[in-house]
Chain A
Amino acid sequence: SQTIHQWPATLVQPVGSPLSLECTVEGTSNPNLYWYRQAAGRGLQLLFYSVGIGQISSEVPQNLSASRPQDRQFILSSKKLLLSDSGFYLCAWSPLGQGDEKLFFGSGTQLSVL
């Protein structure tokens, strides 16, 4: 069966520090991969998605970047965190292909920038 791992679960970082969140998927090949952000009590905002190694699309301009160095690895990064980067970050995957694939989410990372 497929599983998605996301870490760390919580992170407190000072303003201006770098960020690296990692997500890996097991049990599937060539997944679509996604990073979402969720502000407290709010909905989900799509940040990045990837349909293959090295292929990254950004949905909104921001202080963050994403990379996909391996087929089942997706990394969210920042060189210098801002206060506004605080939030709940979710990695997700879906099967590659057409139609109505569901998104499967990781357990999330609660990032607090102080």
Chain B
Amino acid sequence: GESVGLHLPTLSVQEGDNSIINCAYSNSASDYFIWYKQESGKGPQFIIDIRSNMDKRQGQRVTVLLNKTVKHLSLQIAATQPGDSAVYFCAENKWNNAGNMLTFGGGTRLMVKP
């Protein structure tokens, strides 16, 4: 089946630098994408989402970019802080008769060095 995957399993950045986490998806029919942050021992938390009719969306210190031509999604974190250390998951949402079905990527671990 189609799935969402990630390029980098681990990303280490210096505090204050910008981080970029990448995600590739294979389902061209996916119309909605979400980034989640999961801290150790906790459930994933929603960060930001983007619809397929957009190519960029900004939040507080985070930006999601969507390139439908190459089926690529990225999460950019500005001025990375120690509290940003976590595993980040991208997910694609394809609507079916059962409702909201998210397919998650394998996750990227972000480590922020002080």
Contact = CB atoms under 8 A, between A and B. Distances in A.
Given A98-B95, A101-B100, A106 B43 contact: yes
Interface string A78-114: 0000000000001010101011111111111010000
Chain B interface, DSSP helix/strand/loop, else mixed: strand
B5 to A, nearest CB: 10
Contact of A100 (B32, B43, B44): B32
A32 B89 contact: no
Contacts of B100: 32, 94, 100-101, 103
B99 A51 contact: yes
A101 B34 CA distance: 10
A101 B49 CA distance: 10
Nearest to A99: B95
Interface string A9-38: 000000000000000000000001000000
Given A98-B95, A102-B46, A108 B104 contact: no
Interface string B13-45: 000000000000000000110101000011111
Interface of B: 31-32, 34, 36, 41-46, 49, 51, 89, 91, 93, 95, 98-102, 104-107
